[in-house]
Amino acid sequence: MHIGFLTPEYPGTKTGISGGLGTSIYNLAHALIKNGHAVSVFVYGQREDEQYTESGITFYRIKNIRFKGLSWWLSRKKVERIINTAIQHTQVDVLEVPDWTGFSAWMKVHCPVVMRLNGSDTYFCTIENRKVKWWNRLQEKTAYRQAHQIIAVSDYTGKKTNDVFGQSRSYTVIPNSIDASKFQRGKETTSVKPIILYFGTLIRKKGVLDIPHIFNRVIQEIPEACLILAGTDARDIQTGSSSTWALMKPLFTEQALSHVDYLGKKPYSEIQTLIEQAQVCIFPSYAEALPVSWLEAMAMQKAIVASDIGWAHEMMTHNKEALICHPSHHDTFAVNIIKLLQDETLRNELGQNARKRVEDKFDNAVVVKQNCDFYTSII
β-strands 280-283, 195-199: how paired? parallel
pLDDT tens readout for residues 52-102: 999 999 999 999 999 999 999 999 999 999 999 999 999 999 999 999 999
Asked if 286 contacts 327 with a C-beta cutoff of 8 angstroms, the reply is yes
Alpha-carbon torsion angle 213, 154, 346, 339, nearest 10: 10
Of 66, 21, 29, which Cα lies nearest the Cα of 45?
Answer: 66
pTM: 0.92
- The angle at the Cα of 230, spanning 224 to 231, to the nearest 5 degrees, equals 155
What domains are defined for the chain? 2-177+363-378 (3.40.50.2000), 180-361 (3.40.50.2000)
- What average pLDDT is seen over the chain? 95
Percentage with pLDDT > 70 across the chain: 98
Residue type, 357: R
pLDDT exceeds cutoff 60 at 189: no
pLDDT at 191: 58
pLDDT tens readout for residues 353-377: 999 999 999 999 999 999 999 999 9
| Least confident window among 50-64, 205-219, 261-275, 360-374 | 261-275
Asked if 367 contacts 177 with a C-beta cutoff of 8 angstroms, the reply is yes
How many residues are given for the chain?
379
User: Would you place residue 184 in the very low, low, confident or very high pLDDT band (cuts 50, 70, 90)?
Assistant: confident
Q: What's the Cα-to-Cα distance from 368 to each of 66, 157, 280, rounded to whole Å?
A: 38, 20, 30
Q: Which residues 6+ apart lie within 8 Å of 274 measured at CB?
A: 197, 199, 228, 230, 263, 266
Q: What's the Cα-to-Cα distance from 3 to each of 6, 48, 195, rounded to whole Å?
A: 10, 23, 42
Q: In what order do the strands lie in the sheet with 280-283?
A: 260-262, 226-230, 195-199, 280-283, 303-306, 323-324
Of 225, 5, 196, which Cα lies nearest the Cα of 113?
Answer: 5
CA distance 232 to 322: 25
pLDDT tens readout for residues 316-350: 999 999 999 999 999 999 999 999 999 999 999 99
